[in-house]
Amino acid sequence: MKTIPFPQANNMELIYNLVKTMPEDGVVYSTIAKENKIADRQGSYYLNALLFLELSFKIKNRFFPTEMCLQFKKADINKKEFCDYLINHPKLNVLYTACHSIKDKKQKLDFIRSYIHSNFNLDEGTANRRASTILNWFVWIEKQKEEL
């Protein structure tokens, strides 16, 4: 199985909605793409984001909800609870904590890019794209915290 260190799915609102609606019998990326009017490759980005967040697992080309995802669905998780899950997730917590104290957006991007490049052996361009995704996630989290 190929591991994707950091996903490319920028829209955390869509990720949140997928967590709440993922069918127990699984889904393929083309279905996600069609339902959300995005390209097939983008559908795969969003399902891979769920893999990264340990909210899905993959068998062949089909993605299934993990037990955690099913618990979230059953509890009808709200955005605050989802944000708490995200900021405490082991793959995001170090970055979120560090970025929270950095005020300048470019410095945040540079920090995330450097962390990804150093720890996951990705080239600069890929690390930069992944950093942009993670920063978009953090912006979404902060927006949700402000609204609550």
Distances (CA, A) of 25 to 43, 65, 66, 85: 17, 8, 11, 24
Residue environment code for 74-83, b if the CB has 16+ CB neighbours within 10 A, otherwise e: eeebebeebb
User: Each residue of 8-35: pLDDT tens digit?
Assistant: 899 999 999 999 999 999 999 999 999 9
Q: What is the pTM of this model?
A: 0.92
Percentage of residues of the chain with pLDDT beyond 90? 83
